[in-house]
Amino acid sequence: MSYTWEPKWIKKRIRVSEGVEIETCYDISTGLMLCPLCVNVSRMCPSTTEPTNIIPENVPYFFSPEDIIYHMKVHTKAVEGKKLYIEVKEEEEVEEEEE
Ligand SMILES: [Zn+2]
C-alpha cells in the first residue's frame, strides 16, 4: 500500500492559550499542524488561502495546540544563541561506581 498523503498547508493562526496565538502551517486535509520553529513558515505555507503540498521531512506533526506549545517550550531553551532546531539528547550519566 503506497503512502499517499497530500497535505494542504495553509498559514493559520492558532490559539494556543489565553491571549496567545502562533502563526504556523496547518494541513486542511488532516488537521495536522507544524511547529513554526521547526519549519520555515514563509516557505512551507506562504499563503493563508492557497495551500501548498510539500511533505516536510524530519519534523514533528501535532494534532493539538497543547502539543505544539509543549514542544516549543523545549525549543526556547535551545534557541537562545543557537540555531532553531536542536535535537535534545539526554546527557549520558557519568556516575562513579558505587558498591
Ligand atoms: Zn519545533
Q: How far is the CA of 40 from the centre of ligand 1 (A)?
A: 11
pTM: 0.72
Predicted pLDDT at 79 = 59
Predicted pLDDT at 18 = 85
Q: How far is the CA of 99 from the centre of ligand 1 (A)?
A: 42
The full set of domain ranges for the chain reads 9-79
Q: How far is the CA of 36 from the centre of ligand 1 (A)?
A: 6
- Name all contacts of 10-17 with Cβ < 8 Å and 24+ positions apart: 10/45, 10/47, 10/48, 10/49, 10/50, 10/51, 11/41, 11/45, 11/46, 11/47, 11/48, 12/45, 12/48, 14/65, 14/68, 15/65, 16/65, 16/66, 16/68, 16/69, 17/65, 17/69
Tens of each residue's pLDDT in the chain, 99 residues: 556 889 999 999 999 888 889 999 999 999 999 999 999 999 999 999 999 999 998 999 999 999 999 999 888 776 565 554 445 555 555 566 666
Predicted pLDDT at 12 = 96
Q: How far is the CA of 1 from the centre of ligand 1 (A)?
A: 30
Predicted pLDDT at 95 = 60
